[in-house]
Structure 1
Amino acid sequence: MANERLREAMLKVGLSTYELAERIDVNPKTAERWVTLDRAPYPRHRHAIAALVQEREAYLWPKVVSPERATRIAESELVHVYPRRAAIPLDIWGRLIDQATEEIGILVYAGLFLPEQVPSIIRDLTTKAQAGVRVRLLLGDPKSQAVAARGAEEGIGDAMAGKVHNVLAFYNQLCGVEGIFARFHGTTLYNSIYRFDNELLVNTHAYGFPAAHAPVLHLRRLSAGELFDTYADSFDRVWSSGHPIWGPTVAA
């Protein structure tokens, strides 16, 4: 059976089997077997190939990582654990936004703290979008059952829907900025997720506690890892279920 994922990744970057062999410094027949027979390269070659075709090792060769190694990789993807969101230094938010070159994503019910604690965020997101960064904002639909339930669980009732309206007063300033997209969602959030290219801040949710008092995982993607992608995929699933806040324009 051929490795269609590798074949497709090579096609996307315009790399032939012969050119791959030349770049990796192996026999062309060896490279051919990687593609046509789904032979797994040595680890050092997998690293190099993944970099060349701009894909993750775990995607190109999903069967080669043992459970034990997968656990070690997941531990390496975990940069830091904050006991509560309030423990995150404010400069972390600024650094992550500033360093993003491809994608910024915010998945919350309201997340009102962010524009309050980072007053420059509207200007920063505008600047990033103008530089070609895709910005996606996902807010809880204030009319949804999920937002009502979260408000009840935190003991603040309808105030959760009010927070969504409050944060919209900030984000509505971004309406019409090319490259910035905003959607409402009505899903149950087990985590709030903040994405900055290949780094994530995952604010866990604990029943009866506001998000500010729950732990946060700082993750950084590794090519052979799965932990980062679990949360990144979760973000995308919620995005696909949402509906535009400002109009019919949607992200590609």
Structure 2
Amino acid sequence: MPNERLRDALLQRGLAVEEVARATRVDPKTVERWITQGRTPYARHRHAIAGMVQESENYLWPNAVTPGRKAEISGSELIDFYPHRHSVPNDIWTRLIEHSKKHIEILLYSGMFLTDDPSLVKRLKGKADSGVKIRILLGDPTSREVARRSEEEGIGKTTLAAKVRNALAFYRPLSEVSGVQIKCHSTTLYNSIYRFDDEMLVNTHVYGFMAGHAPLIHLRRLAGGDLFETYSESFESVWQTAKNPKW
């Protein structure tokens, strides 16, 4: 079976088979087999290719690492754990944004705590201007999922929808900025996700509690790990179903 993830990653980076062959010091026909026949490269070759295409080895070759080893690596991806999102120091959020060089991805319903920072839009624009790709997923304020979550938090059926509309108004200046994409989703949100290159904050959702009072885990992506990649793929799944907002 062809390795479509590897094929797509090479195409996205504009890398030819010959370039990969030179970098890994193998015959171009070997690279072709990695792509067209789904052959799994040796670990040293996987590491080199993952670095070239800026993807994790686990994403490119999901079955290359044994379950036991994958679980061990995934445990090492956990940097810290906070019992409540509001207990995360502000300087962590600032550092993650400022140090991002490739990706900033945000998945939530409203995230009004972020909009408390009036400089956020300006800082995100600056990151986009420097080449960082930014994707923001907000809830669809007209969706039943947002209304249900609002009731589950005990704040009334329409309160969260109003917060989402406020958040959309806050981020609207970014809608015309190159490198920034904003969409609305209507999925059941089990976790809010904040990705900054190879670090991620995952805010779990707990029934009956507002997100700020729910736990948060801080992850750092490791080659061969599975935890970071799981949440990253979840973000992608929601992104594919989301729609452009009705400004």
- TM class by smaller structure: 0.7 to 0.9
- Structure 2 letter corresponding to 1:164: V
Q: Which residue of 2 aligns with 1:50?
A: 50
- The higher radius of gyration belongs to 1
CA distance in 1, matches of 2:50, 2:28: 19
Query: Residue 147 in 1 paired to residue 146 in 2?
Result: yes
Question: Residues 192 and 202 of structure 2 are in contact (CA less than 8 Å); yes or no, is this contact kept in structure 1?
Answer: yes
Question: Residues 139 and 146 of structure 2 are in contact (CA less than 8 Å); yes or no, is this contact kept in structure 1?
Answer: yes
CA distance in 1, matches of 2:138, 2:38: 42
TM-score (norm 1): 0.84
Other structure's SS at 1:243 match: coil
Percent sequence identity is 51
CA distance in 1, matches of 2:3, 2:154: 52
Query: Residue 65 in 1 paired to residue 65 in 2?
Result: yes
TM-score (norm 2): 0.85
Question: Residues 102 and 133 of structure 1 are in contact (CA less than 8 Å); yes or no, is this contact kept in structure 2?
Answer: yes
Other structure's SS at 2:209 match: coil
CA displacement 1:176-222 (0-9 Å, x = unmatched): 22222211211110001111122211100000011001111111222
RMSD, matched Cα: 2.7
Q: Which runs of 5+ in 1 are unaligned?
A: 248-252
Question: Residues 106 and 135 of structure 2 are in contact (CA less than 8 Å); yes or no, is this contact kept in structure 1?
Answer: yes
Q: Which residue of 2 aligns with 1:176?
A: 176
Other structure's SS at 2:134 match: strand
Question: Residues 220 and 228 of structure 2 are in contact (CA less than 8 Å); yes or no, is this contact kept in structure 1?
Answer: yes
Change (3 A) 1:2 1:214: closer
Count of residue correspondences: 243
Q: Which runs of 5+ in 2 are unaligned?
A: none
What is the CA distance between 1:42 and its match in structure 2?
4.1
Q: Which residue of 2 aligns with 1:80?
A: 80
Change (3 A) 1:99 1:154: same
What is the CA distance between 1:81 and its match in structure 2?
1.1
Match for 2:15 among 8, 13, 26?
A: 13
Q: Which residue of 1 aligns with 2:211?
A: 211
CA distance in 2, matches of 1:33, 1:106: 36
Q: Which residue of 2 aligns with 1:128?
A: 127
CA distance in 2, matches of 1:89, 1:226: 26
CA distance in 2, matches of 1:47, 1:144: 43
Q: Which moved more, 1:229-238 or 1:66-75?
A: 229-238
What is the CA distance between 1:84 and its match in structure 2?
0.8
